[in-house]
């Protein structure tokens, strides 16, 4: 049942959306997670606009933090996003939440789920983007699960 906090979202199922790069695009995240690293969880649902960041920026950033990741860690299976200057990002408790973009559809805006909050290094740190599981990459699996 839909409520003010439970609403449907579109999946990037069309061939063009499955392969579209959103680097530089403003995305939206919402969640009930902490409002700062080590802080308390939110009392209200928070929303944030953050840019999608190139995965090579992620790879370079996490390498500088001396965090070991496999060679393919920042491949097409993930999307990186966050405001690198201000440090705006998701935080603990936001995992599993949506990374969304607004796309024009027949003259109106629709929100599409392009990622799911996965992990980061701390939260709200400048120059450290968050990492999201890519729904574009997983669409075949998602459709298969929806059909069963």
Q: Are 120 and 87 in contact (CB under 8 A)?
A: no
- As a whole number, mean pLDDT of residues 94-101 equals 95
- The pLDDT of residue 122: 83
The answer to whether residue 3 is domain-embedded is no
Give residue 85's pLDDT: 87
The 10s digit of each residue's pLDDT in 104-132 is 889 999 999 999 999 888 888 888 899 99
Q: Which domain holds residue 110?
A: 15-147
Angle at 119 between CA 113 and CA 24, to 5 degrees: 50
Query: Does a structural domain hold residue 2?
Result: no
Tell me what pLDDT residue 70 has: 65
Does a structural domain hold residue 120?
yes
Q: What is the CATH number of the domain that holds 104?
A: 2.40.10.10
Residue 31, in any domain of the structure: yes
User: Residue 4 falls within a domain, yes or no?
Assistant: no
Domain count, the chain: 1
Structural domain includes residue 35: yes
**How many residues are listed for the chain in this entry?**
148
Given a cut of 80, is residue 92 above it in pLDDT? yes
> What pLDDT is attached to residue 68?
62
With respect to residue 9, please indicate whether it lies within any of the assigned structural domains: no
pLDDT tens digits, 13-68: 999 999 999 999 999 999 999 988 888 989 999 999 999 999 888 888 888 877 66
pLDDT at 101 over 80: yes
41 SS3 class: strand
Q: Could you tell me if residue 1 is inside a domain?
A: no
Q: Using an 8 Å Cβ cutoff, are 48 and 90 in contact?
A: yes
């Amino acid at each position: 049942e839909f409520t003010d906090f439970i609403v449907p979202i579109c999946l990037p199922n069309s061939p063009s959306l499955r392969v579209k790069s959103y680097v530089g695009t403003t995305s939206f995240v919402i969640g009930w997670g902490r409002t700062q690293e080590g802080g308390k969880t939110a009392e209200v649902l928070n929303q944030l606009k953050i840019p999608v960041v190139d995965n090579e920026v992620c790879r370079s950033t996490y390498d500088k933090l001396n965090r070991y990741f496999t060679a393919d860690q920042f491949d097409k299976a993930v999307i990186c996003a966050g405001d690198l200057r201000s440090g705006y990002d998701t935080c603990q408790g936001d995992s599993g939440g949506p990374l969304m973009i607004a796309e024009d559809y027949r003259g109106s805006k629709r929100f599409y789920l392009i990622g799911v909050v996965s992990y980061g290094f701390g939260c709200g740190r400048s120059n450290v983007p968050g990492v999201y599981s890519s729904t574009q990459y997983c669409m075949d699996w998602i459709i298969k699960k929806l059909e069963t």
